[in-house]
Amino acid sequence: MRVALFITCFNDTLFPNVGIATTQLLERLGLTVDFPEAQTCCGQMHFNTGYQRESIPLVRHFVEVFRDAEIIVAPSASCVGMVRDLYSKAAALSGDAALIEAVDQLTPRVYELSEFLVKRLDVTDVGAYFPHRVTYHPTCHSLRVLHVGDAPLRLLRAVKGIDLVELPDARECCGFGGTFAVKNADTSLAMLSDKMRCVLDTGAEVLCSADTSCLLHIGGGLHRQRAGVTTVHLAEILANTESEAL
């Protein structure tokens, strides 16, 4: 099976290791990974901040780049959420019938990594090894836009050596919210401080999630507090094996 990797501009620039881990993981599972190099940004920040018209060229670009891909996989619930939930709205706004049609054709083929593994490939044990105490933060977009359910947790539970501990109030938003973190910095921080308290209460040394955007926010706060908790994307844990530790 061939999959096209939708890396997201955020991971491409700030978290290249997540892309590397995703590639290694998918290849280890026997898949052929393509990386269409013309990909840029899905337009989520524009759309969610109210610049919906400005996002249309980015939607168009994405559709062109991935038009021929059979399956598109991204290590980001929020960017996949943009494509699956909001691309049809952006296309409708453009009034371009061809774009509306192209988006309709494309969106069912776009998967977030954990749902691709569990729901499409029907795999939960990917042969990973990660001997650490880990807690998992289910991001809002993975839960309430993509409805990935417990797919990430099923993958994590199958990881050898892992000490997986439950995060209290896990379903509550961490307070990132894209430009919300900047526009409503104080409210964002109030939410962050509660999320960090929950993370610290678990005694975990690693906080895992399916979105590096939320991890940038929570991890940034934990680092500022010298809390001693590392943030790691789900793909990085799943790519880790006993013979080849990242």
Q: How far is the CB of 116 from other proteins (least distance, A)?
A: 18
Return the residue of 221, 236, 238, 239 that touches other proteins, per CB under 8 A: 221
Question: What CA–CA distance (Å, rounded) separates 159 from 156?
Answer: 5
Mask of contacts with other proteins, 107-126, x by CB under 8 A?
A: --------------------
Per CB under 8 A, does 45 bind other proteins? yes
Per CB under 8 A, does 228 bind other proteins? no
Q: How far is the CB of 39 from other proteins (least distance, A)?
A: 7
Which residue, 49 or 241, is less far from other proteins as judged by CB?
A: 49
Which residue, 46 or 162, is less far from other proteins as judged by CB?
A: 46
Question: What CA–CA distance (Å, rounded) separates 172 from 151?
Answer: 18
Determine whether 156 is exposed, middle or buried from the number of CB atoms within 10 Å of its CB (0-12, 13-18, 19+).
Answer: buried
- Which amino acid is residue 160, in one-letter code? K
Question: What CA–CA distance (Å, rounded) separates 209 from 132?
Answer: 15
Q: How far is the CB of 155 from other proteins (least distance, A)?
A: 21
Return the residue of 31, 163, 165, 180 that touches other proteins, per CB under 8 A: 180
Per CB under 8 A, does 41 bind other proteins? yes
Return the residue of 2, 160, 183, 197 that touches other proteins, per CB under 8 A: 183
- Enter the tokens of residue 188: 């964002």
* Greatest Cα pair distance in the chain: 53
Return the residue of 48, 107, 212, 240 that touches other proteins, per CB under 8 A: 48
Phi and psi, residue 41, nearest 5°: -125, 145
- Enter the tokens of residue 142: 């993975």
Question: What CA–CA distance (Å, rounded) separates 214 from 173?
Answer: 9
Say whether 205 sits in a helix, a strand or coil.
coil
Question: What CA–CA distance (Å, rounded) separates 182 from 187?
Answer: 10
User: Contact at 8 Å (CB) between 62 and 42?
Assistant: yes
Q: How far is the CB of 18 from other proteins (least distance, A)?
A: 8
**H or E stretch at 59:** helix 52-66
Among positions 127-166, residues that touch other proteins (CB under 8 A) are: 140-141, 143-145
Which residue, 43 or 152, is less far from other proteins as judged by CB?
A: 43
Among positions 74-103, residues that touch other proteins (CB under 8 A) are: 86, 89
Q: Which residues contribute to the site for other proteins (CB under 8 A)?
A: 7, 9, 11-14, 16-20, 23, 35, 37-41, 43, 45-55, 57-58, 61, 86, 89, 140-141, 143-145, 171-173, 175-192, 194, 216-217, 220-221, 223-224
